[in-house]
Structure 1
Amino acid sequence: MASGVTVADDVVKEYNDMKIMGRQDPKRRKKALFMHLSADFKQIEIDHTRALYMENCDGDKDIFKQLPDMVNCKEPCYILIDVCFAVGECKKQELVLLSWIPDTSAVKMKLIYSSSKDALVKKLPGTRHMWACSSTEELKDYVYLGEKLGATEIEGKPLCSRKT
């Protein structure tokens, strides 16, 4: 379902900056880019009130512990996350588009965000991984994301599969 929502040019610019790793000081590179709909619901734009940088996610500063505190439990958003993971011995770093549409959002907001995601995906070519979450428990569940990525390790943590 098309919503008629467009994507702001600065979203595409930030995406390109995140995609090409050599453009910035590694510590000042964005780890997570937060986006939301404009007040008139016509454009997806950067949420300048929230951002996570690589330096905020070093050592014991786990991005999956920080994300639940950075989202609003009633307002949807999109988050582009730079995820480091391993598949066997092969280390990878790829962008994952997270669609945060909480269960507690108004029905209208859920519909608008769900139908607008395609416009964002089309403007961010090469984003191969999508992750949809509707509760903070799901945001903390990096094992699920790791399984979707086929990873044996994510953000330096070995995955323990939920399958027994």
Structure 2
Amino acid sequence: MSRSGVSVADESLQAFNDLKLGKKYKFVLYGISEDKTTIVVKETSTSQSYDEFLGKLPENDCLYAIYDFEYEIGGNEGKRSKIVFFTWSPDTAPVRSKMVYASSKDALRRALTGVSSDIQGTDFSEVSFETVLERVSKSAGSH
């Protein structure tokens, strides 16, 4: 349970494990339930398009996301894959929503074992493919 009293739904953990272990999804979007008590799955997708993922981020509301980020590394070393946790909190989101998401993040983040990088986004430049690539390629090791 988080500082805000929000807990993580079992379905949220299952969707993460389906992405991580089963490669069933490319990304999972999470939100806080209407009654502000639980972090739930809002959407899952198998789309390989990063632009489609970005298109799912709301302009005026917060959410969390897990993305199986694949990228090529130089020197003919091939592809790498990192699981990235996004906290999306645009400047235009309501203050109350930003506060609830900020205080609830740790509950979800602690429950998701195996995440390589955390990305905090307040505008689309902070979650662009190039920005995320720079962040994940700096982290040691590969999955």
1:92 aligns with 2:93: no
Give the CA deviation at 1:90.
5.1
Contact persistence 2:6–2:37 (CA under 8 A): yes
Contact persistence 2:31–2:40 (CA under 8 A): yes
Give the CA deviation at 1:92.
2.0
Cross-structure match for 2:14 = 13
Deviations 1:51-79 (A, max 9, x none): 321xx32xxxx31x223321221110111
* Distance in 1 of aligned mates of 2:84 and 2:72: 15
Match of 1:143 among 112, 126, 130: 130
- How does 1:109-128 map onto structure 2 within 5 Å? 109-128=97-116
Q: SS at the partner of 1:79?
A: strand
* Distance in 2 of aligned mates of 1:100 and 1:94: 18
Give the CA deviation at 1:33.
0.4
**TM norm structure 1:** 0.74
Cross-structure match for 1:103 = 91
Deviations 1:8-56 (A, max 9, x none): 001111111111136xxxxxx2111011000111110001xx3321xx3
Higher-Rg member (1/2): 1
Cross-structure match for 1:44 = 39
1:67 aligns with 2:53: yes
RMSD: 1.9
* Distance in 2 of aligned mates of 1:82 and 1:101: 20
Task: Give me the identity figure in percent.
Answer: 27
**TM norm structure 2:** 0.84
Match of 2:26 among 17, 31, 35: 31
Question: Unaligned stretches of 5+ in structure 2?
Answer: 139-143
4+ long deviations beyond 2 Å: 85-88, 136-139
* Distance in 1 of aligned mates of 2:104 and 2:73: 31
